[in-house]
Amino acid sequence: MSNKSFFQPFTLLMLITMAPAVMAESILEFHQRQCKAGQQSSCERAQVMQEADEQAKRIEALGEAFARRVDRDKYETDNKPELELAYPEVMQDFFAAEKKSGVKQTIGEQGLMMCAGHFHDHWRNRKLVWPTDSEQRPDWSAIYYYIVDHYYGYCMRSYLGGLSNS
């Protein structure tokens, strides 16, 4: 074995082990760094992202609290979630909890019921799999999050933006 063939793998191994670790940076961290460097648009984006992250954490906590107190006899049939029934209750719970943050219901009761029907049909009638817990029962914490997401995604866009109900 020549010295050259011996040192090539050894050199490669040394380079790999001595190379600095690659660090990943989140988009939020990127904008925070750019903000510190004086880019105002990054300051604004970082602020919006930070607020959204905080709200997502609040929604997760609300979902966990809802899951602890959910009436499974009322909101489940044959181990399947009754999403159309739960939707308005979840949203009322969310609005009550977020009231101090200025969050309020922007879609009337009739629109909210149409949203509930759409959400239910989307998950149940299309045979989509809903989140389950360790006991294979509906995971109401995750379902809570999905309901709030649906309200601000599909419903706000459809009912306030004038899109169709389909």
Residue 12 has pLDDT above 50, yes or no: no
What is the number of other CB atoms lying within 10 angstroms of the CB of residue 9?
9
Pick from 45-49, 60-64, 156-160: least confident = 156-160
What pLDDT is recorded for position 45?
Answer: 87
Q: For the chain, what is the mean pLDDT? A: 81
Q: What angle do CA 98, 101, 103 make, to 5 degrees?
A: 60
From CA 22, how far away is CA 139, in angstroms rounded? 37
Tell me the DSSP string of the chain.
--HHHHHHHHHHHHHHHHSPPP----HHHHHHHHHHTT-HHHHHHHHHHHHHHHHHHHHHHHHHHHHHH--HHHHEETTEE-HHHHHHHHHHHHHHHHGGGT----S-HHHHHHHHHHHHIIIIITTPPPPB-TTSSB-HHHHHHHHHHHIIIIIIIIIIHT----
The mean pLDDT of 126-140, rounded to a whole number, is 86
Asked if pLDDT for residue 9 goes beyond 60, the answer is no
Q: How confident is the model at residue 119 (pLDDT cuts 50, 70, 90)?
A: very high
- Residue with the bigger pLDDT between 141 and 47: it is 141
Q: How confident is the model at residue 52 (pLDDT cuts 50, 70, 90)?
A: confident
What's the mean pLDDT in 88-92? 95
Q: Residue 151, Cβ neighbours under 10 Å: how many?
A: 23
- The whole-model pTM stands at 0.72
Q: How far apart are CA 103 and CA 56, in angstroms?
A: 14
pLDDT at residue 91 greater than cutoff 60: yes
- % of residues, the chain, pLDDT over 90: 37
**Res. 124: pLDDT tops 70:** yes
Instruction: Please give the residue that has the higher pLDDT: either 128 or 41.
Output: 41
Residue 98 is predicted with a pLDDT of: 87
Please tell me the distance from the alpha carbon of residue 83 to that of residue 150, in angstroms, as a whole number: 12
What is the residue extent of each domain of the chain? 45-161
